[in-house]
Chains A and B, each alone.
Chain A
Amino acid sequence: MRDVAIVGVGLMKWGELWEKSIRDLCVEAALSCFEDAGNDKIDSIVVGTMASGLLTGQEHMANMVPDYLGKKHVPAMRVESACCSGSQAVRTAFMEVASGMSDCVLALGVEKMTDVSGNDATYALATASDQEFEAFHGVTFPGLYAMMARKHMEQYGTTREQLAEVSSKNHRNGSLNPHAQYPFPMTREQVMNSTLVADPLRLMDCSPITDGAAAVLLVPATDAKKYKKHGMVVISGVGHATDTIALCQRKDMLKMEAVTLAAKAALKMAGKTIKDVNFAEVHDCFTIAEIMIMEALGIVKPGQGGPATLKGLTALEGKFPVNPSGGLKSKGHPVGATGVAQICEAVYQLRGEAGKRQVKNAKVGLTQNMGGTGGTSVVHILEAK
């Protein structure tokens, strides 16, 4: 297997992008990525999108993207793992380059979520759960994570304030990120006084509905020297694991085993432990998710995610910064784009290009993306070389 480097990243400001279609988003992110890399000669494209069909009526994005990118005839494929689709695109591109099959692959994640009503977007997202045995009963994604939150609070004593601090901390970081959808601070009180969505979770515990895309360009590490614009970043570890699709089928729903197993595989491949990691971009679709992911990754012991967050462990200036980008909460969560954007953020951090939200001495970064209630998770380890 060849070592793989990231030589280009492309993002845009996310939000409710009424003027832009799904094809505009894809092309804009890709062009920005080409510009960052100083190269647009690609062998292959992998597109990650969760629900382009339900949200925009457009399937066959693997045809749409090369066509509108001016890359007619370039092979392209689409991957889907709900909210984990973006990092599946990166992982697939990684395998293509590592295997020697291709020498320059564009991994692109996209979701256009505001072309449908809130109800229709909720429906599309709920298709990531078990349709017949979860969604059928009228449960929503906030509802599923709320059940985990209640259990976590009852089992470990996690508090409402600790949950709120996840959101507040991510908004602090996001306020420093020019790409973020909601780049403003949010106090714990504001989170705790926001509208109840699914007890005990409130509106400001939840990631928003977002339009956006992100792209990265992967090449063999040996070729990366040709791209002199930036410091070199390699993907040194990739891990991927699954769990039951239905939350109730897990023996211990607080464990997030797919996250633990994906991280274990990625760290092993990179020859690292979690202690070697300087920062992480994780899938805080809900505040409780970030706490459980911290525990599943081994950043803290089970039950310690809440107190550690409140004590500032994961703050930008803390010992283990989590979500310097602002996370899904502040940066936005265009589901298929999220996993790719996490890689973009890790690259900015490792290149030292993260501006005011720069993590000090960032050498090794971890990204963790997941789908459903944690039924799919992909972890990448990135290193500055």
Chain B
Amino acid sequence: MSIPRHWREIPRRYRLEAGKCKKCKVINFPSRLVCPECGGKTFETVKLSGKGKLDTFTIIRVAPEGFGDEVPYAVGIIDLKDGVRLMAQITDCDPTTLKTGDKLVAKFRKVQEDGKNGIIKYGYKFVPDVGV
């Protein structure tokens, strides 16, 4: 898979950087050039808290290529405290015990790797917020 495509997203994937609209103060993740709320075009870079609640989720049993070894794994939509919603894997848990509303926190993990000889793509995943 494309190296530049991953490299370009490093601020989002590694640091959860988002764009806060200077006009309406809404935080957009990923950051955009035009604010979908107010049409504003100037933004301030902010770092998301990485803390939130599970809005909905699924357990992937039939995975896309490259994810097959990880099944079953959970992917969910997380409502962050910052008013942002994003999609990510939920790891470090038995996915069958997850419940919507669970408190989650972001961790830095491997998301994909291009086989054994390609690059490793790191990024955010979420884990149950149990203080470990």
Contact = CB atoms under 8 A, between A and B. Distances in A.
Contact of A197 (B9, B62, B67, B87): B62
A146 interface: yes
Given A137-B111, A138-B70, A246-B87, A143 B75 contact: yes
A150 B30 CA distance: 25
A139 B66 CA distance: 12
Given A132-B30, A138-B112, A119 B65 contact: yes
Interface string B1-43: 0000100010010000000000000000010000010000000
A195 interface: yes
B123 interface: yes
A133 B125 CA distance: 12
A140 interface: yes
Contacts of A147: 56-58, 75-77
A198 B62 contact: yes
Nearest to B2: A131
Contacts of A131: 5
A139 B58 CA distance: 9
Contacts of A212: none
B64 A126 contact: yes
B86 interface: yes
B111 to A, nearest CB: 6
B80 to A, nearest CB: 10
B61 interface: yes
B117 to A, nearest CB: 19
B99 to A, nearest CB: 10
B85 interface: yes
A131 B67 CA distance: 15
A250 to B, nearest CB: 9
Contacts of A123: 64-65
Interface string A146-162: 11101100100000000
A interface, over-half SS:
helix
A247 interface: yes
B67 A138 contact: yes
Interface size class for chain B? Answer: 20 to 34
A143 B115 CA distance: 23
Contacts of B87: 133-134, 137, 139, 246-248
A137 B75 contact: yes
Interface residues of A, number: 37
A22 to B, nearest CB: 23
Given A132-B9, A246-B87, A248-B86, A139 B60 contact: yes
Nearest to A150: B56
A317 interface: no
A196 B66 CA distance: 19
A195 B59 CA distance: 13
B45 interface: no
B100 interface: yes
A248 B58 contact: no
B100 A154 contact: yes
Nearest to A249: B85
A139 B75 CA distance: 7
A120 B64 CA distance: 9
A138 B64 contact: yes
B69 to A, nearest CB: 11
Max chain A C-beta neighbours (<10 A), residue from B77, B112, B125? B77
Interface of A: 119-120, 122-123, 126, 131-140, 142-144, 146-148, 150-151, 154, 195-201, 244, 246-249, 253
Closest 10 CB pairs of A and B: A146-B58, A138-B67, A199-B59, A119-B65, A151-B56, A198-B58, A248-B85, A248-B77, A147-B56, A139-B75
